[in-house]
Amino acid sequence: MKVGVLTGGGDCPGLNAVIRGVVRKGVQEYGYEFIGFKDGWRGPVEGDTVRLDIPTVRGILPRGGTILGSSRTNPFKAEHGVRDIKANLAKYEVDALVAIGGEDTLGVAARLHGEFGIPCVGVPKTIDNDLSATDYTFGFDTAVGIATEAIDRLHTTAESHMRVLVVEVMGRHAGWIALHSGLAGGANVILIPEQRFDLDQVCAWVTSRFKASYAPIVVVAEGAMPKDGDLVLKDAVSRDSFGHVRLSGVGEWLAKEIEARTGKEARTTVLGHVQRGGTPSAYDRWLATRFGLHAIDAVRDGDFGKMVALRGTDIVRVPIAEATAKLKTVDPALYQEAGVFFG
């Protein structure tokens, strides 16, 4: 059997660990051949490939990013995209695809399998941890660790200058990174997309902290919105091939509003791509490796149209379509827990 592997969407710590797990077990235990498709779904659409074997994946476990490259290519938006994928899979004699990605990448895999019979197995990847059907996605732990370290460092400079420091983290639709890093880093305000925030309340919390002779840290997810406003966009017109607008600037907007309303100096730190770059944490290496091992088992079993998922400490298989049907967002009860520390 020859198996194709691709990584799509935003890069993420742990992608190389998945590739390594898939290839090592596939070659050593099942005698499979592997071919990598470059840059997400662009690879099978254009027939852009690279050889994958054990020497290729040696030493990539601690590396961030992906040796296969990534993109946000949507084959359903490309002319003859699906036709070209089928033709290239036949050309390279690929019997199955392992698609490693988030909601968009796996959504394509679900359609290719369900509507066109292409044998796909999915592996969930996103630092946002917003894929349903799995307890955690790899990349999330690394992103939270990076954001927490940044918040820890910002506490000292905030106290030195008695400023408000606003930390903008990733999270388009889900506030998992903001919630986890904000709580772990001792933030005084955490704002997430799931709960529209009251700007007056935010300023009241900020003022309260200054009265206690303490400089506040405000953590805000990029998709958070005020009660009487909307998303802050980098470009209201430009969208990617999956229809997503580019978010950017809620942290800067919030800092200006806080400074104008409270009279306290406010500065912004936007963590951006720092959160998903660099070396994956030990947990993400462990989880990504296990996902890879179980993904190739699903290929061996012919259990296509499935995604490997973490349930407790077990790796299970769930339909890709089910996993991508809706996003996993922060439960209001979890957010209320953090509210004890606001203000």
User: What is the end-to-end Cα distance of the chain in Å, rounded?
Assistant: 59
**Per-residue pLDDT, 13:** 93
- According to DSSP, the β-strands at 233-239 and 245-247 are antiparallel
CB-based contact 34:27 (threshold 8 Å): yes
The neighbour count for residue 58, using CB atoms within 10 Å, is: 11
Side-chain-side CA neighbours of 71 within 13 Å: the count stands at 15
Give the annotated binding-site residues. Answer: 10, 103, 126-128, 163, 170-172, 222, 267, 273-276
Name the DSSP letter for residue 162. Answer: T
Give the annotated binding-site residues for diphosphate. Answer: 10
According to DSSP H, which parts of 92-139 are helical? 103-116
Which residues belong to the active site? 128
List the pLDDT tens digit at each of the 343 positions of the chain.
Answer: 999 999 998 889 999 999 999 999 999 999 999 999 999 999 999 999 999 999 999 999 999 999 999 988 999 988 899 999 999 999 999 999 999 998 889 999 999 999 999 999 999 999 999 988 999 999 999 999 999 999 999 988 888 888 899 999 999 889 999 999 999 999 999 999 999 999 999 999 999 888 887 788 999 999 999 998 766 655 555 555 555 556 668 899 999 999 999 999 999 999 988 988 889 999 999 999 999 999 999 999 999 999 999 999 999 999 998 888 888 999 999 999 998 889 7
Strand order in the sheet with 49-52: 49-52, 33-37, 2-7, 96-101, 120-124, 306-311, 314-319
Give the annotated binding-site residues for Mg(2+). Answer: 103
- CA 343/CA 338 separation, integer angstroms: 11
Tokens encoding 239: 């969208």
Give the annotated binding-site residues for substrate. Answer: 126-128, 163, 170-172, 222, 267, 273-276
**Per-residue pLDDT, 62:** 94
**Per-residue pLDDT, 243:** 56
